[in-house]
Amino acid sequence: MNWINLEQLLQPSPAPRLITQAPELAHAELCEQALRLAGGLQQRGVKRIAVHLEDAAHLAIALLGAWRAGIEVLLPADLQPGTRARWSAQVDLWLSDRPGDTTIGELQAAPLAPADLDLEHCRISLCTSGSSGEPKRIDKQLRQLANEVLALERLWGEALGQAWIIGSVATQHIYGLLFRVLWPLCAGRGFERRQLPFPEDLQRASRAHPAFAWVASPALLKRMGENLDWPALSQVQKVFSSGGELPGEAAQQLYQRLGQWPTEILGSSETGGIAWRQGEALWRPFADVQLSQDEQGALCIASPYLPAGHVECSADAADITSDGRFTLLGRLDRIVKLEEKRISLPLLEQLLCEHTWVSEARLGVVEQGRAYLGALLVLSPAGLHALRNQGRRALIAGLREHLHGHCDPTALPRRWRLLRQLPLNAQGKLPQAEVQALLLAARSMAPDVLGQSVEGDELQLRLAVPPDLACFPGHFPQTPVLPGVVQIDWVIALASERLTPAHRFAGMEVLKFQHVVRPGDELVLTLRFDAERSKLYFNYHCAGQVCSSGRILLEADGA
């Protein structure tokens, strides 16, 4: 494999190189488009651009073209109105797929000549939410990115070989940018154009290549169930995971199914890569990363992926061993004071996760009169069983009793929210501001919609019954069951959004309840609307059994 340094990617390649497929793009064509884009940007006098492109190959063209034209690039996390308002004054144009924004095709002009990129003056800015949720802009020189992709190749290039790079993470953030775009470009490995956020999509793309590697998030890897073709997927050359800690149980399952441990990457937008691990508790720093600690015990990092001479101190407490490896001990910025007592939220979360009922936990402070702690929990299968057969009150009492022996009574959470999964953002993080919002929100009465499809005149919706619906304590406290009236309410609401707009409930004609629906159940809801008779037919299935069915009479609004 012929390595090309990042700064030399716009020079002619000594041999043909395939960049990606569907549609196929070769290195020579990528260079031509990037150099034409550079010419168009220079013609317009552009100095700073914001780039948000779903296609990784288009992102590569945009970055290389902008850098060749001497233009600073901002990668916003998304295209939400608030994000655009925040950054619009700092850029001259938005290059994106969204209607109304500028496209790569609109900027093509006479090409600039091929040339090496300037490692010092080519700049990119990344946007990250940080632990508080407040967006931050992190500026980087091209030299920092070039140093990092070279280090990645030295460490894992031989193991990857000619593997096709398939990613479930966005390229707008440092992990996806490096692993899905810049590293494969330099190494001559082909990569998938699109982010593939679902296990089935990852499997489909993998089957198209004799050798492949995954650039994934813990959220995806935790969701990869038994229904996949694991013998075929075991041909994966490497499984990378970053954006948060991969639970040990998920890592163990992947090892059993694939015959290899996933490679976890520890890093941030600020620092770049810090360390990695594979099937062990301790983290190993990357070769040129120097670690130290400040007076509070926080991990401090000096590396070639940071500005020269800069030491970045994180908010992570760490225990560094004599051989340079280390263990993370939790976030120092998540120490709170309640009634003059210092409470470590990460420590309490760890204690909760040690209970057989808990898979994941996040804590926050609820400020309503007297401040107290609240907990977001994802239950384990054993925890869901306890909820279904003992009820919410008994489950929470058991968890409080578990904590009671390890912490001051002040630290016992007083508000609990049970979730199917933590709502991680695109960077695999759950900002503390989002934790607070979830704790303050009322318990929902709506289902989780997992997907939908149309077969003939029927609409099928895949639903999950949230474990913490507000109706469960009253129906019933020790054995929660989804009330029939709630099932009907879901039918009317979901049909109104997708199938029967401008209609309202007018009566029931047929109604059968055959099997109970419990917290955590996954349902298939089938809807069919007979417009001529204004009748809505529905049935709920769970695990192949009909749970309920009926016929609802509707009438047009204003009738």
- Whole-angstrom Cα distance, residue 256 to residue 416? 34
pLDDT in the model for residue 428: 74
pLDDT digits (tens, 9 = 90+) for 9-40: 999 988 899 999 999 999 999 999 999 999 99
pLDDT digits (tens, 9 = 90+) for 456-468: 889 999 999 999 9
Name the amino acid, one letter, at 47: K
| Number of residues written out for the chain | 559
pLDDT in the model for residue 130: 53
Average pLDDT of the residues in 221-250: 91
Beta bridge partners of 299: 293
pLDDT digits (tens, 9 = 90+) for 297-331: 999 999 999 999 999 999 888 999 999 999 998 88
Average pLDDT of the residues in 112-117: 97
Q: What residues have CB less than 8 Å from 449, skipping those under 6 apart?
A: 461, 462, 463, 494
Residue 541 CB neighbours (<10 A):
17
pLDDT band at 134 (very low <50, low <70, confident <90, very high): low
∠ CA 419-421-426, rounded to 5°: 130
> % helix / strand / coil in the chain, to the nearest 5?
30, 30, 40
pLDDT band at 50 (very low <50, low <70, confident <90, very high): very high
Does residue 406 or residue 411 have the better pLDDT? 411
- Whole-angstrom Cα distance, residue 463 to residue 487? 11
Q: How far is CA 407 from CA 344, 359, 386, in A?
A: 10, 20, 24
Q: Is the pLDDT of residue 521 over 50?
A: yes
Q: Is the pLDDT of residue 509 over 80?
A: yes
Tell me how many helices (H) and strands (E) the chain has.
15, 28
Nearest to 522 by CA among 479, 468, 474, 465: 465
The pair of three-digit structure tokens given for residue 50, joined into one six-digit string: 């914001």
pLDDT in the model for residue 375: 97
With 0-12 / 13-18 / 19 or more C-beta atoms within 10 angstroms meaning exposed / middle / buried, residue 191 is buried
Strands 298-302 and 312-320: antiparallel
With 0-12 / 13-18 / 19 or more C-beta atoms within 10 angstroms meaning exposed / middle / buried, residue 374 is buried
Average pLDDT of the residues in 540-554: 95
- Whole-angstrom Cα distance, residue 141 to residue 127? 15
Nearest to 312 by CA among 294, 303, 300, 320: 300
pLDDT band at 296 (very low <50, low <70, confident <90, very high): confident
**Cβ contact 428:245 at 8 Å:** no
- Whole-angstrom Cα distance, residue 543 to residue 520? 12
Beta bridge partners of 288: none
Average pLDDT of the residues in 481-485: 96
Q: How far is CA 78 from CA 66, 167, 171, 427, in A?
A: 20, 18, 11, 11
Specify whether the backbone of 385 is left (phi greater than 0), alpha (psi in -120 to 50) or beta. alpha
pLDDT in the model for residue 1: 59
Q: Is the pLDDT of residue 284 over 80?
A: yes
**Cβ contact 344:316 at 8 Å:** no
pLDDT digits (tens, 9 = 90+) for 435-454: 989 999 999 999 999 989 99
The pair of three-digit structure tokens given for residue 397, joined into one six-digit string: 């009492």
pLDDT digits (tens, 9 = 90+) for 341-396: 778 898 899 999 999 999 999 999 998 778 899 999 999 999 999 999 999 999 99
How confident is the prediction for the chain on average, in pLDDT? 93
pLDDT band at 408 (very low <50, low <70, confident <90, very high): confident
Q: Is the pLDDT of residue 132 over 50?
A: no
